[in-house]
Amino acid sequence: MLTYIRAAISKVYKEHRYLREHLQQDEVTEFDRIISKDPTFPALACALQDLSEYLARYHQQKCVVLIDEYDAPIGTAYHEGYYDKAMKFLRPMFSLLLK
């Protein structure tokens, strides 16, 4: 599941690669690690929140994040026996986006 989420977030970051030239150096490093799907990158749960902040800064207006079918990975995790692990990852990611 984490591999799928890592790939999906990487794809979204690639769609917004134009932001890279407007980021601070530490942000560029994290941006590149997410695009490369670095499995050792610990802050993946913050990646969508960070991207929304980058977009808001670039476009100078608030960003809205729409997450469609969030229940599908949760249902799969439940049926495949790794629900607790999935929720440990997904809960903080979703709650960060609500802030």
How is the chain split into domains, by residue range?
1-98
pLDDT, position 28: 97
- What is the pTM for the complete model shown? 0.78
CB 29 within 8 A of CB 36: no
DSSP H or E run through 14: helix 2-15
pLDDT, position 99: 67
pLDDT, position 6: 86
pLDDT, position 87: 85
Cα–chain-centroid distance for residue 71?
A: 16
Q: Which residue positions in the chain have pLDDT lower than 50?
A: none
CB 40 within 8 A of CB 13: no
DSSP H or E run through 43: none
